[in-house]
Amino acid sequence: MFFDYDEFTGAVPRLFSSVEPPHQTLRLPVGRHGHANGSFSQLGTYKLTVQASATMAAGAAVTSWAVECTLVVGPYEPPMPPPTTLIGHHPILLP
pLDDT the model gives residue 91 = 60
Domain extent for 10: 2-93
Distance CA 25, CA 75 (A): 29
Counting the structural domains of the chain, the total is: 1
Does the structure show a pLDDT above 60 at 65? yes
Give the mean model confidence (pLDDT) for residues 84-89: 62
| 3-56 pLDDT tens trace | 666 777 877 778 888 788 888 888 888 888 777 778 888 899 888 888 899 999
Rounded alpha-carbon distances, angstroms, from residue 9 to 4, 12, 15, 29, 32:
12, 9, 16, 20, 19
| Interacting residues of 65 by C-beta distance below 8 A, sequence separation 6+ | 51
pLDDT the model gives residue 63 = 95
Assessment of whether the complete model's pTM goes beyond 0.85: no
